[in-house]
Every structure is written in C-alpha cells, then in structure tokens.
C-alpha cells in the first residue's frame, strides 16, 4: 500500500509540473549550406543556420547539442514539442504551428535548370508538365506542390537533385538558392552549370519555436542574435559560408 501511495504521489507531482519545467531542445533539418553535420570526427554542426544558432546557444548558456535529422522529420518533431526550437523557413502551411519571433536569414526560393538546356523556367506554369525535383519537407517543394506541378519528384537529400539534374532525370530543380548552390558544389558540380529562373518567393528562415516556449526565453535568444549583429559575428558567419543575400 505504501509503495502504491508513493507512485500516485510521484505521478501527481509530474503532472503538476508547468510547461516551463520541460527541457528546451533544438532540432534541425539537414539542408545543404544551412544545417549539416561537421565532417570532422569531433562532431558538431555546420551550415550557416546551425552555426548561427550554435553561437546564439553559447551566448545564452545553452549547452545541449543540436539534434540533426531529415528535414520532414525535424518539422514533425518540432510540431509535436514540447519546448523545441527549429531553424526553419516560414510559409503559410507552417504559420499556425510555430512562433516566428526570431528571423535568422533571408533567401530566394528559385527554379533552376542546367545552363545548357532550353527548359523554360520563367514561371511555375512553364514547368507544370516537366519533371521537377525538390526536397521533401523543404520550402521550395511545398510552394511547388501548392502551385500544382504535376510531375514533382521528392528526395530526402538536396544533393540528389543535383545529381538528377546533371544527368537529365529532372528538367528543373526548385529550392532555396543557397542550399541549391551548396548541394551542387557538394557533388563536385560547378554552380556555373546552373541557370536561375523565376523567384517563387522571398524566403525568411527563422528560429521557429513550438507554442509552449515562453516569451522570456525567446527574448534571450533574440538578444543573442542582435549582439552577434552588433559585434560583427553575424556578418563573419555569412561570409564563412559564402552566403548569397537575396537579389
């Protein structure tokens, strides 16, 4: 009987814990140029978004690692919560599921094709019947899907689109420009072999938060980002990753 009472008491205490008592977690989808694992045996993260967030974490005293996972799974993990931060592109389909108070970066969601091809990439409508590659769970894929592309092909890693475009398995590629550029280079393919077409949207990449992250906590992370901009760290990180600002 005593053991049963202790169990009931412990259960009641756990249920009574406020949301703020949950441990904050940072997850990130693996996207070339934005969030990747370091190639060194020491581990850690690479990519402009994740390095920005890692430096913000250092400044606020957050010491847990960033959990890297496929992009689609990172979004589902953050939606399920609790207490999750996630570097993520902001769009209509994600708007209601997160808090969007901390903008990290801007980029362009674009259509690209091979430089030596005659494929019309001046608009989404021009490629509606063409095979177009995109990253599953990525912002470009979501926009293209909503635009009604009939032959949209999803991949789990952006570098696979670079390969498919190079050998002619897809006619065009939709995605965030800096990620496309990094994926192309990761496959030892020249960025100059790509031809940019229509800009489908100006992308905002935020440090999104699950709804239960307290405003005071988000204010600390936002202040860390502002301090990085003030002391030049932000500009240095963008330069380290050869980050192209939107045209």
Q: What is the pLDDT along the chain (247 residues), one digit of tens a residue?
A: 444 545 444 444 444 444 345 789 999 999 888 998 887 655 688 999 999 999 999 999 999 999 999 988 999 999 998 999 999 989 888 999 999 999 999 999 999 999 999 999 999 999 999 999 999 988 899 889 988 888 999 998 999 999 999 999 999 999 999 999 999 999 999 999 999 999 999 989 999 999 999 999 999 999 999 999 999 999 999 999 999 988 7
Q: How far apart are CA 157 and CA 136, in angstroms?
A: 8
Topology of domain 23-106+205-240 in CATH is D-Maltodextrin-Binding Protein; domain 2 (3.40.190)
- CATH code 3.40.190.10 region(s) in the chain: 23-106+205-240, 107-203
Residue 151 CB contacts under 8 Å (≥ 6 apart), including other chains: 129, 130, 131, 132
Note if the bond before 192 is cis, omega within 30 degrees.
no
Which helix (H) or strand (E) segment holds residue 209: the answer is strand 194-209
Q: Which CATH superfamily is domain 107-203 in?
A: Periplasmic binding protein-like II (3.40.190.10)
Residue 61 and residue 172 in contact, taking contact as beta carbons nearer than 8 Å: no
């Amino acid at each position: 009987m005593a053991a049963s009472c202790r169990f009931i008491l412990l259960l009641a205490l756990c249920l009574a814990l406020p949301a703020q008592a949950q441990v904050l977690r940072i997850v990130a989808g693996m996207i070339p140029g934005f969030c990747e694992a370091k190639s060194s045996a020491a581990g850690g993260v690479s990519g402009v978004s994740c390095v920005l967030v890692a430096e913000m974490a250092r400044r606020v005293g957050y010491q847990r690692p960033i959990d890297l996972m496929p992009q689609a799974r990172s979004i589902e993990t953050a939606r399920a919560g609790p207490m999750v931060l996630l570097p993520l592109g902001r769009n209509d389909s994600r708007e209601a599921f997160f808090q969007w108070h901390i903008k990290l970066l801007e980029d362009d969601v674009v259509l690209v094709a091979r430089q030596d091809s005659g494929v019309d990439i001046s608009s989404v409508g021009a490629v509606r019947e063409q095979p177009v590659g995109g990253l599953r769970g990525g912002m470009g894929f979501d926009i293209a899907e909503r635009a009604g592309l009939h032959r949209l092909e999803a991949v789990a890693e952006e570098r696979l689109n670079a390969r498919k475009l190079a050998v002619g398995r897809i006619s065009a590629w939709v995605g965030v420009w800096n990620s496309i550029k990094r994926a192309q280079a990761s496959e030892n393919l020249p960025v100059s072999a790509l031809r940019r077409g229509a800009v489908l949207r100006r992308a905002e990449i935020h440090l999104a938060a699950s709804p239960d992250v307290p405003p005071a906590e988000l204010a600390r992370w936002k202040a860390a980002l502002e301090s990085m901009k003030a002391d030049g760290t932000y500009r240095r990180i963008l330069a380290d990753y050869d980050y192209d600002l939107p045209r």
